[in-house]
Structure 1
Amino acid sequence: MENANLEKKYNKWIWVLSIAIPLVVAILFGVNLQKLGYDVKPLSFLPPIYATINGITAILLVAAVYAIKKKNNIKLHERLIKVCIGCSIAFLAMYVAYHMTSIETKFGGEGTIRYVYFFILITHILLSIIIIPFVLFTFVRGIAGAYERHKKLARITYPMWLYVAVTGVIVYIMISPYYIN
Structure 2
Amino acid sequence: MTVYDLPPINATLNACATVFIILGLIFIKVGNKKAHIVCMATALTFSAVFLGCYLYYHFHVLHVKFAGTGNIKTFYYGLLITHVFLAIVNLPMIIMTVIPALRQRFDKHKRLAKWTAPIWLYVSITGVIVYMMCYQWYGPPLRS
TM-score of the pair, normalised by structure 1: 0.72
Please give the per-residue CA displacement for 1:119-154, whole angstroms capped at 9, x wherever unaligned: 110111111110012111111111212112211111
- Of 58, 67, 84, the residue aligned with 1:99 is 58
Alpha-carbon separation, structure 1, partners of 2:83 and 2:141: 19
- TM-aligned CA deviation for residue 73 of structure 1: 1.5
Q: How many residues align?
A: 140
**Where does residue 64 of structure 1 map in the other structure?**
24
**Where does residue 11 of structure 2 map in the other structure?**
51
- TM-aligned CA deviation for residue 163 of structure 1: 0.4
* 1:162 paired to 2:121: yes
Aligned-residue RMSD, C-alpha: 1.7
Query: Is contact 1:43–1:101 with CA below 8 Å preserved after alignment?
Result: yes
- The aligned amino acid for 1:96 is L
Structure with higher helix content = 2
Query: Is contact 2:67–2:142 with CA below 8 Å preserved after alignment?
Result: no
**Where does residue 132 of structure 2 map in the other structure?**
173
Please give the per-residue CA displacement for 1:74-111, whole angstroms capped at 9, x wherever unaligned: 12211211111111111011112222333632101111
- TM-aligned CA deviation for residue 179 of structure 1: 3.6
What is the DSSP-based 3-state SS (H/G/I as helix, E as strand, rest coil) of the residue aligned with 2:14?
helix
Query: Is contact 1:42–1:98 with CA below 8 Å preserved after alignment?
Result: no
Alpha-carbon separation, structure 1, partners of 2:42 and 2:21: 9
Alpha-carbon separation, structure 1, partners of 2:120 and 2:2: 29
Query: Is contact 2:66–2:142 with CA below 8 Å preserved after alignment?
Result: no
Alpha-carbon separation, structure 1, partners of 2:58 and 2:3: 8
The answer for unaligned runs of 5 or more in structure 2 is none
Query: Is contact 2:67–2:141 with CA below 8 Å preserved after alignment?
Result: no
- TM-aligned CA deviation for residue 112 of structure 1: 1.1
What is the DSSP-based 3-state SS (H/G/I as helix, E as strand, rest coil) of the residue aligned with 1:110?
coil
TM-score of the pair, normalised by structure 2: 0.90
Please give the per-residue CA displacement for 1:43-99, whole angstroms capped at 9, x wherever unaligned: 1111001101101111100000111111x1212211211111111111011112222
| Structure with bigger gyration radius | 1
